[in-house]
Structure 1
Amino acid sequence: MKKLLIYPLLALLFVAGTSCDNGFDELNTNKTAVTALNPAFMLNNAVINASFPGGTLVYEMGIVQHIVTPNSGVLTGANYNQDNRNVTQEIWQRYYRSVIRNTADAINSTKNNPNRSNLLNMARIFQAYGFMVLTDTYGDVPYFQAGKGFTDQAVLPKYDAQEAIYTDIIKELTEATAALDATKTRETADILYGGDIAKWKRLGNSLLLRAGMRLSKVNANLAQQTVQKAVQGGVMQSNADNAVVRHNANYVNGLGSTLNATEANNYYLAAPFVNYLKSTNDPRLRAIAVRYVGAASGPEQVPARANTDPAVQIGMPLGFDNTGITAQAKAEGLASFYEYSQLDRTRLAKLQSAMFLVTHSQTQLLLAEAVQRGWVQGTIANHYTAGVRAHMEQLAENDPGSAVPAAAIDAYLAANPFDASKALEQINTQYWISSLMNGPEAFANFRRSGFPNLTPNPFPGKGIKGNFIRRLTYPNSEVSVNSTNLKEATARMGVDDLDTRVWWDK
């Protein structure tokens, strides 16, 4: 009798148990949580974070003498030709953590999905761009194992030789650009070009042109072949093709953030840059510069004192610390060093100013040099003129107040025509101007071309042996955590200091 009672009881408990479990998984599932991330958003995150951090004011823009500060401490860098690893790490951290990681995730998420092949190849192109910035800045860097900490558990990635990196970058750009197909899915969520395949192809080929020209001193044959491939594929045709990060209230311009915050009174346009623009009556000076006439202190840099007239602009000379520049300003008849000209933070360097990564202007100037070298067909003067005009027209995108009138552009080009006897110097000096605010690219092309002809910073306490900084040093985190792989790289490349040249910088 007892057994007869036990069996119905067990059955009842079983039913009750299964009834309670029914819907349990659904009940414990967060219906608002993201279960799958669109890889297009990963690529977008990479693009947004490719905008340069404020540290490029300290080193890259200082090395090429666009910008200078007389201050030390956290701002020590190109102003004194000294190492400051709290700043040299900024590009490394930004690009590995937020550019390469996201492009690698986008590639990994789309590589087996033929419906997202365009997104895959867009991510490959942008990843190649990111790696170019990294290797041009530091030399040998983690490449083949980079961005694979999660997928391959490569948490201590090996460093690769820059020559091998460039070989693969050229391969990636060539293959990915050719594989883009306008008949396949258009990735409309893409914030760079809205999925426009023609523009992505022109970006890929323009980057290929840049990569080829970067090798002009170290491997002329490969450089020529790469440049020819890029031109045959079709490069940027107008400013509408520019690769540009457009900032907003949520994603602000890193340079603008620095120049509109605590460092507003600490950075000035360098005298060599201002003097060159004045010497050629360049209308861009009015679009770029502001001088707070009579300012005796930072708080006196007020709108009422702001003057954008090119005739009154005075660039800050290099080679002075905070004490020395005070005396120098007095010797020049200024109320204080706060009277020197600055990059206008109300126009060109606003919080929401655009950041131009690859431009039609730069591309045309590289083409001018490629024609001059006999690598491709064309008219040097036409490419040169188009490059200068494109940059002048580009300035209006940041602020209407920075627009250069068409008549002023025509007058400048008429007064400063292309001079074949100074071709390389003239082309690359214009590239220097065109790359203002893109410190990494200005720094790379200065080392590659040797132009403009800059006088070394005369600061007496410099920490370098040569005349100019040739690369940035690795982060302290790599020194302490990934030391074995870093030591292998420095044994191959050279000492981890500011004097060691990257592979293509001969």
Structure 2
Amino acid sequence: MKKYILLSFALILTATSCTEKFDKMNVDPNNPTKISAQYLLPYALERSIDRYWGGRTRFERLNLDGAMLWMQYLTRNIYSNEGDNYGISPAMQNNNWQGFYNDGLVNFQRIITETGPEGTSPNANYEGVALVMRSWLFSVMTDMWGAIPYNDALKGTAAVANYSPAYDSQEKVYEGLLNDLKIANEKLNPAGPAILGDIVHGGNIMRWKRFANSLRLRLANRQAAKKSAESRAIMREILSDPAKYPIITANADNTVLRSTSVLPSNNEWHQVLIQESRTDWNISSTLADKMNSLNDTRITVYATPVGGRYVGHPNGLPDAIATTFLATSSGVGTAFTRIDAPSVLMTASEVNLILAEAVLDGDITVGTAKGYFEAGITASFEQYGLTVPAAYFATVGAVTREKVLEQKWLALYGVGIEAWTEYRRTGFPVLPPKDPRAVFENDGVLPTRLPYPGSEYSLNKASLDKGIALNGGADNMKTKLWWSE
């Protein structure tokens, strides 16, 4: 399904025509110059989610060569300098910054402009979906870099173009996103006009509403330590009216991009690990040791057994040592490497664990921490067709904030970028001491953010300098972001 849509989009992009004085004569009806939302939407969805989830280009794989290693889900058995030892190539920040803006945000903004009340093809559901995705992608970017161009961004084709957008602080970006997600929920109407090209929810507008409100919960919870009154009000507003503010409560409503078995719409991890025969990654001993200690059967999905056991090795080992573990450490589970495995944005498990934390923090009074905690764990197991082992909750122990965040880490396997953000926010899960044989860059500090791309230094230096100042530290991977506790 996605293949023909992307092919059509590519053909449309190549179409040009000169119409200065001979517009009526020179317009080719088979090569339209305006691209409708039904073609923009699948292109923007796939390009932005693929880049976030995996990325098949070496030195650009934010998830596989960044967050999944830093959060010690995975480790490398070769090329440890590609992420596992906290070192990254400039291509990581340069091409992802450009890709997120150009392939994702610009096209979501085009849909908003085209389908908004003053647009050429008004359709509130297209507008709402694009607004949700624009908010999600901006949230990903600000959580990676901190201050980013936000209010002045995406104006390169405006009537009054802005090619040197100012940076907004992360606090201001969050303020805008929380407001936009509320507006998106209001615009999205299951009884409204249909949309085409929705390769995430198949045109199911209710599921988009659930994602909008769940994402709003995520962001409110994330900033709660800095803006407690505002965050508390947002979370309580959402939970006070489930009919008006539906959230993700079941795995059937999870927000995922469902891959196909056809290029370029197959699972990015399959492309790298199977199609390209890359065996560089094993399971980290941090993940394996924790799950084995809990008798957590999700490891049978997350990893492949070696001699009937699930084992890993430490992160950051030099290649000469790491390569000795290639055949003795578990690999990535087939549920994540199969050709049509989905790319995950948000699940019922995450939402329930957010609510469990919110109860413990006193931010909401609906439900109990234990109820949300167990519902979140149960949803995570069921997401993979598993049943929670009979003694699991007793083994995990009493519900504490640390336990909630540790379980969120376990449930977010695969969604490494989100887990990395939660770790930077809270310091949980507590990671083990570094192996004495490991060699790390970045002064041994687990990366706290990505540096800004070189293009901003050459094309937008004055604004960039102010953005760096807004972050309150140097443009490196050790400066903490605004929501850090």
Cα distance in 1, alignment partners of residues 393 and 168 from structure 2: 47
Checking the alignment, whether the CA contact within 8 Å between 1:193 and 1:200 is kept in structure 2 is: yes
Go from structure 1 to structure 2 and tell me whether the alpha carbon gap of 1:245 and 1:324 turns closer, same or farther (over 3 Å shift).
Answer: same
Q: Does 1:41 align with 2:39?
A: yes
Cα distance in 1, alignment partners of residues 428 and 391 from structure 2: 21
**Deviation string, structure 1 residues 386-421 (Cα, Å, up to 9, x no partner):** 1112122222xxxxxxx42x3xx242545435513x
Checking the alignment, whether the CA contact within 8 Å between 1:79 and 1:457 is kept in structure 2 is: no
Aligned to 1:433: 410
Q: 2:343 aligns with which of 320, 334, 355?
A: 355
**Deviation string, structure 1 residues 406-452 (Cα, Å, up to 9, x no partner):** 3xx242545435513xx111111111111111121111111112211
Q: 1:216 aligns with which of 224, 231, 234?
A: 224
Checking the alignment, whether the CA contact within 8 Å between 1:83 and 1:498 is kept in structure 2 is: no
Cα distance in 1, alignment partners of residues 64 and 230 from structure 2: 33
**Deviation string, structure 1 residues 459-485 (Cα, Å, up to 9, x no partner):** 664332464211111222222222222
Aligned to 1:382: 371
SS in 1 for 2:314: coil
Of 192-201 and 372-381, more deviation after overlay is shown by: 192-201
SS in 2 for 1:206: helix
Checking the alignment, whether the CA contact within 8 Å between 2:356 and 2:369 is kept in structure 1 is: yes
Q: CA deviation at 1:88?
A: 3.4
Go from structure 1 to structure 2 and tell me whether the alpha carbon gap of 1:419 and 1:484 turns closer, same or farther (over 3 Å shift).
Answer: same
Q: CA deviation at 1:322?
A: 0.5
Aligned to 1:499: 478
Checking the alignment, whether the CA contact within 8 Å between 2:302 and 2:413 is kept in structure 1 is: no
Kindly provide the amino acid, as one letter, of the partner of residue 209 in structure 2: K
SS in 2 for 1:187: coil
Q: Does 1:123 align with 2:130?
A: yes
Q: 2:215 aligns with which of 207, 226, 231?
A: 207
Q: CA deviation at 1:261?
A: 4.5
Q: Whose Rg is larger?
A: 1
Q: 2:329 aligns with which of 340, 346, 349?
A: 340
Q: Does 1:393 align with 2:369?
A: no
Instruction: Mark the runs of 5 or more structure 1 residues left unpaired by the alignment.
Output: 1-23, 294-306, 330-335, 396-402
Cα distance in 2, alignment partners of residues 442 and 283 from structure 1: 20
Q: Does 1:455 align with 2:471?
A: no
Aligned to 1:143: 150
Of 146-155 and 245-254, more deviation after overlay is shown by: 146-155
Checking the alignment, whether the CA contact within 8 Å between 2:294 and 2:392 is kept in structure 1 is: no
**Deviation string, structure 1 residues 37-81 (Cα, Å, up to 9, x no partner):** 221332222221223223321111111111111433xx6244212
Q: Does 1:92 align with 2:97?
A: yes
**Deviation string, structure 1 residues 291-342 (Cα, Å, up to 9, x no partner):** 4x5xxxxxxxxxxxxx6x4xx121111231111335xx4xxxxxx5332111
Cα distance in 2, alignment partners of residues 417 and 325 from structure 1: 31
Q: Give the structure-1-normalised TM-score.
A: 0.82
Q: CA deviation at 1:178?
A: 2.2
Cα distance in 1, alignment partners of residues 450 and 433 from structure 2: 17
Cα distance in 2, alignment partners of residues 499 and 390 from structure 1: 35
Map 1:449-488 onto structure 2 (within 5 A).
449-458=426-435, 461-465=439-443, 467-488=445-466
Checking the alignment, whether the CA contact within 8 Å between 1:471 and 1:501 is kept in structure 2 is: yes
Cα distance in 1, alignment partners of residues 338 and 164 from structure 2: 38
SS in 1 for 2:226: coil
Identity of aligned residues (%): 27
Q: CA deviation at 1:122?
A: 1.6
Go from structure 1 to structure 2 and tell me whether the alpha carbon gap of 1:440 and 1:89 turns closer, same or farther (over 3 Å shift).
Answer: farther
Q: Give the structure-2-normalised TM-score.
A: 0.85
Kindly provide the amino acid, as one letter, of the partner of residue 470 in structure 1: T
Aligned to 2:310: 313
Aligned to 1:156: 164
Cα distance in 2, alignment partners of residues 263 and 76 from structure 1: 20
Aligned to 2:251: 239
Go from structure 1 to structure 2 and tell me whether the alpha carbon gap of 1:115 and 1:492 turns closer, same or farther (over 3 Å shift).
Answer: closer
SS in 1 for 2:237: helix
Kindly provide the amino acid, as one letter, of the partner of residue 106 in structure 1: I
Q: Does 1:272 align with 2:282?
A: no
Aligned to 1:108: 113
Aligned to 2:17: none
**Deviation string, structure 1 residues 213-238 (Cα, Å, up to 9, x no partner):** 11122222222122223323231121
Kindly provide the amino acid, as one letter, of the partner of residue 36 in structure 2: N
Kindly provide the amino acid, as one letter, of the partner of residue 142 in structure 1: P
SS in 1 for 2:336: coil
Cα distance in 1, alignment partners of residues 433 and 134 from structure 2: 34
Aligned to 1:3: none
Cα distance in 2, alignment partners of residues 63 and 314 from structure 1: 18
Q: 1:134 aligns with which of 138, 141, 145?
A: 141
Aligned to 1:370: 358
Cα distance in 2, alignment partners of residues 121 and 247 from structure 1: 23
Cα distance in 1, alignment partners of residues 345 and 371 from structure 2: 23
Cα distance in 1, alignment partners of residues 182 and 237 from structure 2: 8
Checking the alignment, whether the CA contact within 8 Å between 2:114 and 2:122 is kept in structure 1 is: no
Checking the alignment, whether the CA contact within 8 Å between 1:58 and 1:76 is kept in structure 2 is: no
Q: CA deviation at 1:148?
A: 2.1
Kindly provide the amino acid, as one letter, of the partner of residue 386 in structure 1: A
Kindly provide the amino acid, as one letter, of the partner of residue 132 in structure 2: I
Checking the alignment, whether the CA contact within 8 Å between 2:282 and 2:326 is kept in structure 1 is: no
- The root-mean-square deviation of aligned C-alpha atoms, in Å, is 2.3
SS in 2 for 1:244: strand
Cα distance in 1, alignment partners of residues 326 and 390 from structure 2: 33
Q: 1:193 aligns with which of 185, 201, 205?
A: 201
Go from structure 1 to structure 2 and tell me whether the alpha carbon gap of 1:322 and 1:55 turns closer, same or farther (over 3 Å shift).
Answer: same
Q: 1:55 aligns with which of 45, 50, 62?
A: 62
Q: Does 1:284 align with 2:298?
A: yes
**Deviation string, structure 1 residues 75-115 (Cα, Å, up to 9, x no partner):** 62442123432223453233212211111111111121484
Q: CA deviation at 1:456?
A: 5.0
Cα distance in 2, alignment partners of residues 254 and 457 from structure 1: 30
Checking the alignment, whether the CA contact within 8 Å between 2:78 and 2:322 is kept in structure 1 is: no
Checking the alignment, whether the CA contact within 8 Å between 2:426 and 2:484 is kept in structure 1 is: no
Cα distance in 2, alignment partners of residues 90 and 438 from structure 1: 20
Q: 2:238 aligns with which of 222, 230, 235?
A: 230
